[in-house]
Amino acid sequence: MTKFAARVERTELAATMAMAARARALRAEGHDVISLSLGEPDFPTPERVVQAAHEAALRGETKYPPLGGTEALRSAVAEKFHREHGMKIRPADVLVTNGGKQAIFNVLMSLTERGDEVIIPAPAWAGYEQTVNFAGAKPVFVPCPQEDGFMLQPQALERAITSRTKLLLLNYPNNPSGAACTEAQLKAIAEVLRVYPHVWVLSDDIYEHLLFDGRKHATLLAAAPDLADRIVTVSGVSKTYAMTGWRVGWCFGPAEIIKPCTVVQATATSGVSSVGQAAALAALTGPQDFLAERAAAYQTRRDIVVAALNAVPGFACHQPEGAFYVFPSIKGCLGKTTPGGRKLATDSDFTMALLEETHTGVVQGSAFAMPGHIRISTATSEAVLAKACARIAEFAAALR
Ligand code: PLP
């Protein structure tokens, strides 16, 4: 049997694959399956963005793109950061990537290797652990429980830092908890980081425009510009503009790290689809008012789900400040048995039983390094969310 590279062997794909496969099978059998497991906006890509891509293709923008991104898109990213945070960055320090995911990959492959530790506040998007493992570094999870609003506490960060710490991964608004942070909270984290100059930070701002209750996005670079020489900021068009399939993201940071990130990108790809870049440029430079409307729609959905779930026995729900997820604790349901006779020892038992017995798909918290919770995506209609919550409530009420 062929022995494959260790880096692939030690990298596990998302634990949700088995669930997704079972949901597909149930649907094929004719069941009315509701899936709330996807991290993808249900809105369409704005029509003018699609048109811009079409026109670019017709104009002949179909050749190999510049490796680091088109000048126009890099300038638009710099201009966007200036518009939103009042801070100037150089277009030359922007690297356009195949989604935010490749930006994260580029940074981890550039910065970390065996023996290095990467601090991941938990709960966290599963892609972080996967990529840290691929790079050969060690993920160090710092629990950020619901009692703390899922927010990284400065003391907890300080306790986790060692001489081997290379990078801290920050993600607010957060997947899966929907927690967002304030500038003051970031300044408190920056205080700790000032004591440890060997620690870099990747600020994953992919949900930056999905904020509720009049909140404004706070990001570490703007909160602590004196740390600019070790902050890489990541974002992209996937979540903000409902463009997950276009695969355009970016990172920016000091030239020192953008250079090796470009080497990683050059090794794996020849840059980002020229048509996708034209679409992303249209998204960033066009009207932005619909973003507030979409955030308001997600806020209404959040309100529906949080109100419904907080009335469910065994559930305790934090009110998310952003993103399109709700991440309730289901600890009060564990140890019980379902009407179908399934014993719920873990959150994975809960999600599998919920799927089998009510045909409702959600993701277990352990997939995000925080067992005892489930993640519900609100990227679907209010009617579907209400129906799913009713199924969950009936399921929980019947536990013995
Ligand atoms: N970061 C977080 C926290 C995410 O949830 C995701 C996608 O689910 C990504 C990054 C990657 O986004 P994309 O590669 O689509 O830009």
DSSP per-residue letters across 195-232: H-TT-EEEEE-TTTT-B-TT-----HHHH-GGGGGGEE
Q: At what angle do helices 382-397 and 289-310 cross, to 10 degrees?
A: 20
Per-residue confidence (pLDDT) for residue 10, from 0 to 100: 86
- Answer yes or no: are the C-beta atoms of 149 and 318 closer than 8 Å: yes
Q: Which atom of ligand 1 is nearest to the CA of 103?
A: 14
Q: How far is the CA of 127 from the centre of ligand 1 (A)?
A: 8
Q: How far is the CA of 26 from the centre of ligand 1 (A)?
A: 27
CA distances for 71 relative to 17, 63, 74, angstroms: 38, 15, 5
Nearest CA to ligand 1 atom 8: 39
Per-residue confidence (pLDDT) for residue 20, from 0 to 100: 79
Per-residue confidence (pLDDT) for residue 191, from 0 to 100: 98
Residues in Cβ contact with 234 at an 8 Å cutoff, skipping those fewer than 6 apart: 100, 103, 104, 107, 202, 203, 204, 205, 206, 249, 250, 251
* Separation of alpha carbons 62 and 400, rounded Å: 61
* Separation of alpha carbons 343 and 141, rounded Å: 28
Structure token pair of residue 340: 């179908």
Q: How far is the CA of 235 from the centre of ligand 1 (A)?
A: 8
Per-residue confidence (pLDDT) for residue 21, from 0 to 100: 84
Q: What are 66-80's pLDDT values in tens digits?
A: 999 999 999 999 999
Q: Mean pLDDT, consecutive 10-residue segments, the chain of 400 residues? A: 90 74 91 92 95 98 97 98 97 98 98 97 96 97 98 98 98 98 98 98 98 97 98 98 97 98 96 98 96 96 98 96 98 97 97 96 96 96 97 97
Per-residue confidence (pLDDT) for residue 16, from 0 to 100: 67
Q: How far is the CA of 101 from the centre of ligand 1 (A)?
A: 6
* Separation of alpha carbons 172 and 82, rounded Å: 19
Give the residue among 182, 186, 148 at the shortest CA–CA distance from 170.
Answer: 186
- Length reported for the chain: 400
Hey, what domains does the chain have and what are their CATH numbers? 6-44+290-397 (3.90.1150.10), 48-285 (3.40.640.10)
Per-residue confidence (pLDDT) for residue 19, from 0 to 100: 78
Ligand 1 pocket test: which of 13, 125, 170, 207 has the largest number of ligand atoms within 8 Å of its C-beta? 125
Q: Which atom of ligand 1 is nearest to the CA of 125?
A: 3
Q: Which atom of ligand 1 is nearest to the CA of 249?
A: 16
Q: Which atom of ligand 1 is nearest to the CA of 204?
A: 1
Lining residues, ligand 1, CB within 6 Å? 39, 99-101, 125, 171, 175, 204, 206, 236, 238, 244, 249
Residue with tokens 């890099």: 74
Per-residue confidence (pLDDT) for residue 346, from 0 to 100: 97
Query: How do 249-252 and 231-236 pair as beta strands?
Result: antiparallel
What beta strand segments (E) does the chain contain? 34-35, 94-97, 117-122, 138-143, 165-170, 200-204, 231-236, 249-252, 325-326, 360-361, 363-364, 374-377
Per-residue confidence (pLDDT) for residue 39, from 0 to 100: 85
Q: How far is the CA of 125 from the centre of ligand 1 (A)?
A: 8
Q: How far is the CA of 373 from the centre of ligand 1 (A)?
A: 20
Q: How far is the CA of 207 from the centre of ligand 1 (A)?
A: 8
Cα radius of gyration rounded to whole Å, the chain: 21
